[in-house]
């Protein structure tokens, strides 16, 4: 019996080596490259220079260095040469990395339910967290923290002027490159670059994930076919065991599906509340306009901070106490009060104040 099992194992090993060798010869080059991982072509743009490198190997390989002047690149140095297999329309595909100071990074705190429609939520809240209009910038977001206890997400939002991004893309085109992504360097570099600023990056990422999943399923299917053809030993026992496991798995999946449906329903409700809150709260522009209109000319504002449903205002005024009444008389501020005692600035002959007030939602929404 032991001799028979030893010969069977030897036969199986020989058959597997032959079959895998035959399959390897049929695998397309693009699939072998996908499984092994590929290095990406990176154009790092700075104030007066740019560097073209391959990133993703043991260490970055510098291909070329350029001087940047008057919107044009001039080659000044060549490093180790390499080739890229990733092309678009006959051109090498490149990722542009902009310096950190060209972008504005801000953090948004959102409910976990926002994950289902994160792009839509960010579009609603965009102008509350940045001084830009959406149509004037390219922006990207990514989740950097998740607090399951409070069901809150921290989302990093990176915004860059459209002019800056388009100028960088024109530089890449000057040297015969096709842009597949634009990102902003991290500060410090250890936090990593931002997500892709170009709108089409999600479709590209999904395509790559789908390709890898398809390749993985193909390998699994081939392995199962080989096993079914050459290993018939104790087949009935294996079927019985597999059937028992399937019944148990089906039961667990049914229970998990019910729980998942409950969570989905709860997140839909939370998402509806978030959208309703967006429509009810005054915009940043309305808040600033009201402040400008009601505060007297003798007062100076040094800081204006919006935090959820309240604002914080610091500055100097001839009479800080009178500001409380002025704010409470507006339709969008209420419960104005001092966060700290009022002090007098002898140099300016004004009172320094630190006031907090609640933001009143719009009526009738």
Mean pLDDT of the chain, nearest integer: 78
pLDDT over 80 (residue 78): no
Two structure tokens written together for 5: 């099992």
Four-CA torsion 197, 203, 208, 213, nearest 10 degrees: 140
Between 30 and 148, the more confident residue is 148
Q: What percent of the chain has pLDDT over 70?
A: 71
State the Cα–Cα distance between residues 227 and 88, nearest whole angstrom: 40
Calculate helix-pair angle for 284-294, 118-129, nearest 10 degrees. Answer: 20
Q: Is 314 helix (H, G, I), strand (E, B) or coil?
A: strand
Q: Cβ neighbours of residue 361 under 8 Å, at least 6 residues apart?
A: 277, 280, 281, 282
Contacts of 134 (CB under 8 A, 6+ apart): 123, 126, 127
Mean pLDDT of 235-258: 82
247 band by pLDDT with thresholds 50, 70 and 90: confident
pLDDT of residue 84: 42
- When pLDDT is averaged across residues 21-38 and rounded to a whole number, the result is 48
**Helices vs strands, H then E, count in the chain:** 8, 15
Query: How far is residue 157's CA from residue 179's CA, in Å, rounded to a whole number?
Result: 22
Instruction: Specify the DSSP class assigned to residue 190.
Output: G
Give, for 205, the enclosing helix (H) or strand (E): helix 201-230
Joined together, the tokens standing for residue 89 give 């329309």
- Over residues 103-134, the pLDDT tens digits come to 888 888 888 888 888 888 888 888 888 888 88
Pair of tokens at residue 108:
């948004």
Q: What is the pLDDT of residue 96?
A: 93
What is residue 201's predicted lDDT score, i.e. its pLDDT? 45
The residues near 224 (Cβ < 8 Å, ≥ 6 apart) are none
Q: What is the pLDDT of residues 283-334, one digit of tens each?
A: 888 888 888 888 888 888 889 898 878 999 999 998 888 888 888 889 889 9
Q: Of 194, 223, 202, 239, which Cα lies nearest the Cα of 104?
A: 194
Question: Closest Cα to residue 156, out of 214, 215, 207, 197?
Answer: 197
* Rounded CA separation 156/148 (Å): 18
Per-residue pLDDT for 21 more than 70? no
End-to-end CA distance of the chain: 81
Section 144-163 average pLDDT = 90
What residues does 97 pair with on adjacent strands? 44, 183
* Structure confidence by residue, pLDDT tens digits, 156-215: 889 999 999 999 999 999 888 889 899 998 877 667 788 898 875 444 444 455 455 555
Using 50, 70 and 90 to split pLDDT, how confident is the model at 29?
A: very low
Q: State residue 362's pLDDT score.
A: 79
Q: What is the mean pLDDT of residues 276-287?
A: 79
What per-residue confidence (pLDDT) applies to 355?
92
CB atoms within 10 A of CB 78: 11
For 76-80, 264-268, 334-338, which range has the lowest pLDDT when averaged over its residues?
76-80
| pLDDT tier for residue 13 given thresholds of 50, 70 and 90 | low
Residue 223 has pLDDT above 80, yes or no: no
């Amino acid at each position: 019996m032991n001799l028979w099992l030893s010969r069977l194992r030897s036969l199986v090993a020989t058959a597997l080596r032959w079959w895998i060798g035959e399959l390897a010869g049929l695998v397309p080059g693009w699939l072998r490259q996908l499984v092994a991982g590929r290095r990406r072509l990176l154009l790092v743009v700075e104030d007066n220079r740019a560097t073209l490198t391959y990133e993703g190997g043991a260490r970055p390989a510098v291909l070329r260095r350029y001087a940047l002047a008057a919107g044009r690149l001039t080659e000044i140095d060549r490093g180790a040469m390499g080739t890229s297999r990733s092309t678009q329309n006959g051109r090498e595909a490149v990722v542009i990395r902009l310096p950190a100071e060209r972008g504005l990074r801000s953090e948004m705190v959102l409910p976990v339910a926002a994950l289902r429609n994160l792009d839509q939520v960010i579009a609603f809240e965009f102008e509350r967290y940045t001084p830009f209009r959406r149509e004037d910038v390219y922006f990207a977001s990514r989740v950097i923290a998740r607090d399951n206890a409070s069901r809150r997400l921290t989302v990093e939002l990176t915004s860059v002027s459209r002019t800056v991004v388009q100028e960088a893309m024109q530089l890449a085109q000057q040297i015969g490159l096709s842009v597949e992504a634009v990102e902003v360097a991290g500060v410090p570099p250890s936090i990593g670059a931002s997500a892709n600023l170009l709108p089409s990056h999600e479709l590209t990422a999904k395509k790559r994930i789908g390709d890898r999943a398809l390749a993985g399923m193909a390998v699994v299917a081939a392995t199962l076919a080989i096993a079914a053809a050459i290993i018939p030993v104790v087949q009935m026992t294996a079927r019985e065991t597999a059937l028992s496991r399937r019944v148990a798995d089906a039961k667990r999946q049914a229970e998990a599906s019910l729980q998942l449906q409950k969570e989905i329903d709860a997140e839909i409700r939370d998402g509806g509340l978030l959208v309703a809150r967006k429509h009810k709260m005054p915009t940043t522009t309305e808040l600033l306009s009201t402040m400008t209109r009601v505060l007297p000319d003798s007062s100076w504002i040094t800081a204006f901070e919006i935090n959820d449903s309240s604002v914080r205002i610091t500055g100097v005024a001839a009479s800080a106490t009178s500001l409380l009444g002025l704010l409470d008389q507006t339709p969008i501020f209420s419960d104005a009060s001092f966060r700290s005692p009022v002090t007098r600035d002898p140099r300016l002959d004004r009172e320094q104040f630190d006031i907090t007030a609640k933001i009143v939602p719009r009526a009738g929404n």
